Each structure stands twice: as C-alpha cells, then as structure tokens.
Amino acid sequence: MTCDSSSTAATDEPRPADSRAEAFQEVRSARRNELAEDYVELIAELIHEHGEARPVAIAARMGVRAPTVTKALDRLAREGLITRERYRSVFLTEKGRALAHECRRRHEIVLRFLIRLGLDAETAERDAEGIEHHVSERTLALFEAYADQV
C-alpha cells in the first residue's frame, strides 16, 4: 500500500544493488578474512617445520608484536580455527586445518603463476601474499592452467 516507486527509498534490498557496489562489498568481505587466512596458513607451516607453533614465532613471521598475536589468536579461537592453552603453543582445529590447506593451495597457485609470468621470486612472494585473498575460484583456475602450461 504505502510503498511505491519513491525513487531510491526502501524497496527490497537494504541498499541499492549497484553491481559496482557489490564488487566493493565483496572486497570488504574478503578483507575481513585475510588475517585469519594468513594466520592459519602460517601456523600450519610452523607446525610442519618445527613441530609446533609458538606465539613468538608467529609474531616474528608476521612482523608484529607479541600482544598483537595474543589478541589475534583469541579471535581465531573464538572462530573455532585453533585451540590453545595459556602459555602454550597453538593447535589447529579440523576447521583450521581445512582453511590452512585451502589457503596454502591458493598461495601456491598464485605464486607459481606470478613466477611463470616472469616475475622474480622476491616480488612474486610479496604480491602473492596480498593477491591470494582476492582471487575467485574461477581466476584461480585460470592461473593454475597458465602456470601448468607446457
């Protein structure tokens, strides 16, 4: 009854579904997962390399201070990606392990792709660390195909 064609007012969606806006919203949503992704990937690596993941090692590899790690780990635990006890090293849950695996795969593909494209290893590593969080499965498939070219 009341509602009608009153220009941009509340119709259906909470916000105008400009396809452009959607892209930005996607990016924002991807950004919210970046940290968790980098952490679990790193934790998996540390466990693989050293048998355990100590906060001090995480801090060093992430390039942040210890309290930053403590807080981040609290969030990861809250999200069910890790388990931990005070003053002890960190373990991945099943869910965390799955995410770590997925992230590692993406990281690897993006890295191999960039190197295949002709980039030096150093720069490739840096760019991959950022790009990996913003490639769709579709893009990833194309990257992989290119990297695996004969």
Judged by beta carbon distances under 5 to 8 A according to partner kind, the member of Mn ion, a copy of itself, DNA, none in contact with residue 54 is: DNA
In one letter, which amino acid is 144? E
Question: Bridge partners of 90?
Answer: 53
Q: How many other CB atoms are there within 10 angstroms of residue 67's CB atom?
A: 10
According to CB under 7 A, which residues from 15 to 54 bind DNA?
A: 28, 32, 34-35, 54
Compare residues 90 and 114 and give the one whose CB is closer to a copy of itself.
114
φ, ψ for residue 58 (rounded to 5)?
-60, -45
Question: Which of Mn ion, a copy of itself, DNA, none sits in contact with 18, Cβ below 5 to 8 A by type?
Answer: a copy of itself
Residue 68: name its binding partner from a copy of itself, DNA, Mn ion, none (Cβ under 5 to 8 Å by kind).
Answer: DNA
Counting Cα atoms < 13 Å in the Cβ hemisphere of 104 gives 14
**Total residues belonging to the chain:** 150
Q: How far is the CB of 73 from a copy of itself (least distance, A)?
A: 16
Residue 107 interaction partner, one of a copy of itself, Mn ion, DNA, none, beta carbon < 5-8 Å per kind? Mn ion
**CB of 125: closest distance to a copy of itself in angstroms?**
6
Crossing angle of the two packed helices 94-117 and 137-147, in degrees rounded to 10:
50
* 37, 129 contact by CB (below 8 A): no
Q: Which residues bind Mn ion (CB under 5 A)?
A: 38, 41, 107, 129
